[in-house]
Structure 1
Amino acid sequence: MNLTSPFSLAIVAITLLAFLGLPIGHAMIAGSILYLYLAGLDMGTAAEQLLNGMYSNYVILSVPLFILAAEFMNIGSMTDRLMAFCNALVGRFRGGLAHVNILQSIIFAGMSGSAIADAAGTGRMMQVMMTRDGRYTPSYAAALTAVSSVIGPIIPPSIPMVLYALVSDASIGYLFLGGVIPGLLMALSQMIIVFVTARRKNFPVEKPVPLRKLPRITWQAFPSLMMPVVLLGGIYSGVMTPTEAAAVAAAYALVISAGLYRSVSWRDFYQSLAVSARTTASIGMLIAGALVFNYVVTVENIPEGVKALLAGWNLSPVGFLILVNILLLLLGCVLEGTAILLIVVPVFIPTAQALGIDLVHFGVVVVVNIMIGLITPPYGLLLFIMANISGEPLRDIVRDTLPFLFAMIVALAILTFVPETVLWLPRLFGYQG
């Protein structure tokens, strides 16, 4: 590559601006405009690509709606009732609260679609519950909450899968279905680690909830438990598109929290709107920057260049997936997941198609990689969030995360080498891929 070419200088500009603290979305827009200027192209193309991409793509609208649904869920008492339900089911086993932590992540996965929302929403509550009376060390509680939160964007709905659908044109509905078994497999791998650790470290056994109370606890949590049913049932019955389902999810969470549980004040409502707006604006700028930069990448014919390079290596589909897994896991150590999804992944999609790799299978594998990146040091955003919530040193949280990280990489290998773990459920619903 010519180091003085417009593309090389644009990459240098993006890297330098990001290093100096400019948000990566703004840096990509600035670097792309520099490229257009140096290449003698119309700089107004940047605005054209941004506007066309942001306002003509209906699927992007689901992102702020899923974020809003998560916020409405967190401000009400839905969280408390779901936690009581989880505790009644698995709290009676050794290491019960650790299993509760994982189970609540499975349930919350069907509501928010965001790992960060799950960690921020229930992280503080789980931290207090697990460390009360010295039951668990604060670092272990923080590590477990971080790793269990990655289940959220794998089991539908999933904001990362929406973004993958944006860059790949894969079906969101089938991507959502493809994430169910992998998400449960991730949860199972975490529960196995908890089970082994609980016996070795003699974790406490919680006071069991009497079985006669289970129907009442289930009934109290029933409206909250129905949210994933309403959301996914609407999508797969054909009644709603994923974007419409996101709007219904937000409305349902508000109605249950404010109307049925009566646990939402006007201040809470305003705060949830403000937090959702800020989060959406942050993601939106990143998407906008990626749309403009992807135009530059297309003009430079980078995807076809990568495709030709990898074709020269004579990689098999399995070899290509192993290479992608390694690259994404390494990139996850230093880059934010959404940036990887919007900038790096589109470069690999033409090669995946040429090798006959199913895009739904590829998408789920990519999303799982990116979720693991959220708990991979040194960047690991969820590790930083839980360090802030728990007040524990990051090194201690990382130490307690490592056994879970190993188990999740084993689960990732299963998903990679056995495509049916991803594709069985979509095919059951008519997927022809």
Structure 2
Amino acid sequence: MPEIIVALVLLFALMGIGTPIHVALGLSGLAIFFANGLPATAAVHTIINGTNSFPLIAIPFFIFAGHLMNAAQVTDRIFNFAKAIVGWTPGGLGHVNIGSSVVFAGMSGAAVADAGGLGAIEIKAMKDAGYDKGFAVGVTAASSTIGPIIPPSLPLIIYGVIAEQSIGELFAAGIIPGMLMALSLMAMVAWYAKKRNYPKDAAFSLPRLLSSGKAAIFPMITPAIIVGGIISGVFTPTEAAVAAVAFTIFIGFVVYKTLTWTSLVHAAMNTIKTTASVLMIVSAAALFAWVLTANQVAEHLASGLLTLTDNKVLLLLMIMMIVFSIGFFMETIAAITIIVPLILPVASSVGIDPVHLGIIVILNLMIGLLTPPVGMVLYVLAKVADTPFEKCVKSTLPFLVPLLVVLLLLVFIPQLSLWLPSLLY
């Protein structure tokens, strides 16, 4: 255990001085590796094995599909369609913000992509319509967390690889929780709209709905191709990701003619950068995870928690508190790679379904994206909205309440996440 203390102290010290998370994880792991007299080749093999998984191939393709959607200016069509559906309600653009995130979630699977892609459009539209800028930032930040819950989801793919669970089942398990998140955030928006007398966007118009729906029909088909293909067994998650990229290129070049070779190359370069950063975190976290495994941290954690209680719900609440605390300080992918091998044996020992655990862990970590000091979504929106980071934090805090309510509902009612996978699989 002294080795673990040294590794953790070194990790947080490096993070505290601004060292990138993958470097901090890698150096902390290597320090313990070499302290045990292990050769560098063993460290290299550990790093390679951390990324040597077929389902991980889906990640760059889903990232590429998201970048291509932005390059093809599809986000405007999604936003306009959402306006036609719910823009006529009080606080309409707040609801539009959430609805757009639900649709975009079926394409990108990443909260930061949602915030960066839709955020600029949503915040500007809400500000121009007379909404408070802080409210617009808070809604945009909170709604972006829906992306990694509704399939396809990059964090769920990572979780599935680490926990050795079916990616298809995890994707199916995220659909109802994602919709619950959207409904809870819409309830919050409705409360704010009544309190602050926020305007309706425009009266409901059937012709407008039909025309905007026609303009957005192809983006709307994309989630159906991805999710439907995986759940029906036509595609593996990796094949579905490739199909999403091919379909996006088709509608960008052939249907809308908004995609150019220059924007295609730009999207590809952005994908390479994003994928490289994700896989660097995964490989570095694999090295740090070895330190935890070698020191039997999972066993010690399991025995420690089980001495406190063997009640499934109480144990799950304690696990969520641990995950929530780690989410404050650690990037999502790194947190999944390190936390899951530790908490999965504990959860399994009392009969907690790994698929159920995956959904609530990811939602828990998504809330961490909205909290300092790591809060990546907040940093993105601070740049997009040209707003101080501190104001973004303050504006987002009230919207943590509905997300925490949904998290507790999932803890106490496992069937909210398990019913659909049991029905389909």
What TM-score comes out, normalization by structure 2 length?
0.96
Aligned-partner SS, 1:136: coil
Q: Give unmatched runs, 5+ long, in structure 2.
A: none
- Residue 357 (1) aligns with residue 352 (2): yes
Q: How does 1:8-407 map to 2 (within 5 A)?
A: 8-55=5-52, 57-133=53-129, 135-407=130-402
Which stretch has the larger CA shift, 362-371 or 386-395? Answer: 386-395
Distance 1:394 1:22 in 2: 20
Whether the aligned pair in 2 keeps the contact of 1:361 and 1:422 (CA below 8 Å) is yes
CA offsets 1:348-407 (integer angstroms, 9 cap, x no match): 111111111000000001001011111123432212211211122333333332222111
Moved more, 290-299 or 84-93: 290-299
Moved more, 200-209 or 405-414: 200-209
Are the counterparts in 1 of residues 76 and 121 from structure 2 also a CA contact under 8 Å? no
Q: Cα distance, 1:167 vs. partner?
A: 1.2
CA distance in 2, matches of 1:86, 1:314: 46
Structure 2 vs 1, CA of residues 124 and 317 (structure 1 numbering), >3 Å: closer, same or farther?
Answer: same
Q: CA deviation at 1:239?
A: 1.4
> Offset of 1:207 from its aligned partner?
1.9
- Asked if structure 1 preserves the Cα contact closer than 8 Å seen for 2:138 and 2:397, the reply is no
How far apart, CA to CA, are the structure 2 residues paired with 1:240 and 1:8? 44
Following TM superposition, by how much is the alpha carbon of 1:209 offset from its aligned partner in structure 2, in angstroms? Answer: 4.9
2:21–2:331: 8 Å Cα contact kept in structure 1?
A: no
Unaligned runs of 5+ in 1: none
Q: Which moved more, 1:397-406 or 1:381-390?
A: 397-406
Provide, for residues 118-148 of structure 1, a one-character-per-residue CA deviation record: whole Å limited to 9, x for no partner: 1100100111111115x10111111111111
Query: For 2:185, what is the secondary structure of its paired residue?
Result: helix
Q: Output the CA distance in 1 between the equivalents of 2:310 and 2:155.
A: 27
- How far the C-alpha of 1:425 sits from its partner, in A, is 0.5
Q: CA deviation at 1:36?
A: 2.1
Indicate the percent of aligned positions where both proteins have the same amino acid: 37
Q: Alpha carbons of 1:151 and 1:381: their partners in 2 closer, same or farther (altered >3 Å)?
A: same
Note if contact 1:77-1:261 (Cα within 8 Å) is conserved in structure 2. Answer: no
Distance 2:208 2:181 in 1: 30
Q: What is the distance in 2 between the residues matched to 1:331 and 1:294?
A: 15
1:295 deviates by 1.9
**Match for 1:32: what amino acid?**
G
RMSD value, Cα: 1.5
Aligned partners of 1:387 and 1:52: how far apart in 2? 37
Return the letter of the residue paired with 1:23. Answer: P
